Structure 1
Amino acid sequence: MEGWINPYYLDIIVFLFINIILGLGLNLITGYAGQVSLGHAAFYGIGAYSTAIFSVKIGLNPWLSILLAVIITFLLSAILGLPSLRVREDFLAITTLGLGLIAQSFFKNAKITGGAYGIDGIPMPSIFGHELTDVEYLLLVFIVLLVLIYVLHRLSRSKLGQAWTAIQEDEVVAQSMGINTLYYKVLAFAIGGAFAGVAGALFAHKVSFISSDTFGFTLSATLLSMVVIGGLGTIRGTLFGVSVLYLLPEVFRIFDIKIIDPNYIDTYKMILYGLLMVIMMRYRPKGVFGRKIRHQKRAVKD
């Protein structure tokens, strides 16, 4: 089966699934808990660098490295989220943006992260000595994605999800109802960060080389565009938004569409994302699945 499928297409699907996992984590923070984050790429980078350091520099088993990377990302996301949660709305967005830039600067300059050279030679996980093939790794990422979708689905319908909904609707009212808003907001950052940590670890072992350029503001802004356009606070919105906006540029590459210069497709991509954001904010500010979000919130209240 490995030889029947173009490896390029396999990579597109793998990276699509990884980006969906990233989007789910951001949607948990922004869509469910109402905390605007412009630094989600920092959590992604923490997961990637953690597993790379454990597996390459310390020599741990890749599976153990991935597990430790997720735990570390969970803890650091909670710590990094603490100063952000003392502010709200626009100030929160600016604060998370600053944290994201600080994290990228650390990745680029710290000795443990390899500095500007990054870390290479990140091993592919293996089972009983058998290194996973591209198809097997695709299956692994797909299973992880399904598990995380189920986890987010259960969280959104639990008491934890109800607390996040109340905070998103009106934080002052939520506090007056006895909800510990700081605790629940930190927990949202931690769990959303853990999702990003999973994505980062899977990404690192797939590409075998990482550098700080991958985890910058552009990625955070792109993810936020995907989640907002698909619809905040809904899993289907994340699946739709990330899939459409991630695959659209690939369509131009695969079918060699001559409408735009393929050498500048990344530039055109950002222009397209920005244009779509403007259109969505004007005509459908809740996103494609926005109306369903409101129905879900009513159901939670009832």
Structure 2
Amino acid sequence: MEALFNPYYVDIVVFLIIYILLGLGLNLITGYAGQVSLGHAAFFGIGAYSSAILSVKADLNPWLAITLAIVITFVISAILGLPSLRVREDFLAITTLGMGLIIQSFFKNSSITGGAYGIDSIPTPSLFGMKLENMSYLIFLLIVMLIGIYAVRRMTQSRIGRAWMVIREDDIVAQSMGINTTYYKVLVFAIGGAYAGAAGALFAHKVSFISSDSFGFAVSATLLSMVVIGGLGSIRGTLFGVSVLYLLPEFFRLFQFTFIDMNYLDMYKMMIYGLLMVLMMRYRPNGIFGKKGAKKVMTKRLHKKKAVKGGEHIA
């Protein structure tokens, strides 16, 4: 039982939950709304730096700092989502990649973010006078994750989620059905970014030190691999993909295989992720839990909904 509560294993689960929150946000953007993003780590970093700056430099209470960081990330993500109104598919992927690199460069060179030195001494949140550390922080994150999953489920099963899925299949069809594509595209970037912002803030207060290296392209690529392999447009897929790909390197660290040089584990990890992506694109492009035929199902459902409401539009 003591081994189960070993700080090392607890930390593994803590960071796994943080990645699940990131995956949920990215799956909203890419899986449900079809807006390919290669810069999701930027939203992650915005949340982390916002909370760190507010709690360390502005001396705000960590809970208030976390809340404001989520709001800040929501607003900035909505602004950064505006290019999705003009570009699509490959061009959108390249645009988001560029934005991610620009934001990481800002983190690395700006004085407010501590430049290359980052920000340290980030305080740990307290509840009823007790610092949330080790198991208490894990329990708190589990509650946050369950709330996040519930919120995604409710959104994707609502009018908003149906609009996102039609936009994913065909922008023109969505517009012809009266869906305000501008509003829904910006909204999905804002909400997906808010999830990443929450994950970033929780990450910052867990590790107590952040630098720009934690929010680079490798994180965005890893997250996209997790979401695609698990299944686009599927909560189960996100949970599965993130859990398997995040825990895989930990499995190698735990058992210390002699045929693997642990110094190159990160390189092996990216090679495995890349190979899995190629195999999934070849044999199961929708991912393990991804849904098929969404275009026909959603179009039929929306036509039926409009007929029942006498031609009332979604937006």
> Deviation at 1:128?
2.6
**Pair 301,12 (structure 1): closer, same or farther in 2 beyond 3 Å:** farther
**C-alpha distance in structure 2 between counterparts of 1:58 and 1:248, whole Å:** 39
Work out the CA distance in 1 between the residues paired with 2:99 and 2:263. 32
Hey, what's the Cα distance between the residues in 2 that align with 1:259 and 1:295? 44
Amino-acid identity (%)? 72
RMSD over aligned Cα atoms:
1.5
Distance in 2 (alpha carbons) for counterparts of 1:297 and 1:283: 22
5 Å-filtered alignment, 1:225-264, equals 225-264=225-264
Paired AA for residue 189 in structure 1: F
AA aligned opposite 1:204:
A
| 1:259 CA drift (Å) | 2.9
Alpha-carbon shift at residue 202 of structure 1 (Å):
0.5
Larger radius of gyration: 2
Q: How far off is 1:133 after superposition?
A: 2.2
Matched pairs, number: 301
Contact kept in structure 1, 2:52 and 2:119, CA below 8 Å: yes
Q: Distance in 2 between matches of 1:96 and 1:125?
A: 32
- 1:19-43 deviation per Cα after TM superposition (whole angstroms, max 9, x unaligned): 0100000000000000000000000
Q: Distance in 1 between matches of 2:286 and 2:11?
A: 31
Counterpart CA distance in 2 for 1:94 and 1:150 is 31
Counterpart of 1:104, as a letter, is Q
Q: Distance in 1 between matches of 2:300 and 2:25?
A: 24
Distance 1:146 1:57 in 2: 31
Matches of 1:85 and 1:222 in 2, distance apart? 25
- Code of the residue aligned with 1:243 in structure 2: it is S
| Residue matched to 1:216 | 216
SS at match of 2:179: coil
CA contact (8 A) 1:85 1:92 kept: no
Task: Confirm or deny that 1:204 pairs with 2:169.
Answer: no
Matched, 1:298 2:275: no
Q: Which amino acid aligns with 1:93?
A: A
- 1:174 matches 2:174: yes
1:1-302 aligned within 5 A: 5-290=5-290, 292-294=291-293, 298=297, 301-302=300-301
Is the Cα contact below 8 Å between 1:162 and 1:300 reproduced in 2? Answer: no
Q: Which runs of 5+ in 1 are unaligned?
A: none
What amino acid does structure 1 have at the position aligned with 2:76?
Answer: L
Is 1:233–1:293's contact at 8 Å kept on the other side of the alignment?
Answer: no
CA–CA distance in 1 between the matches of 2:199 and 2:104? 17
4+ residue runs over 3 A deviation: 1-4, 292-297, 299-302
TM-score by length of 2: 0.93
> What is the deviation of 1:300?
7.7
Structure 1 letter corresponding to 2:103: A
Output the CA distance in 2 between the equivalents of 1:21 and 1:286: 21
Q: Quick one: distance in 2 between partners of 1:273 and 1:57?
A: 38
Give the drift of 1:5: 1.7
Aligned AA for 2:297?
A: R
| Residues 1:299 and 1:169: Cα distance change in structure 2 (over 3 Å) | closer
The CA deviation string for residues 160-206 of structure 1, in whole angstroms up to 9 with x for no partner, is 00110110111011111111101100000000000000100010000
For 1:226 and 1:3, the matched residues in 2 are separated by 28
Instruction: State how far apart, in whole Å, the 2-side matches of 1:35 and 1:25 are.
Output: 12
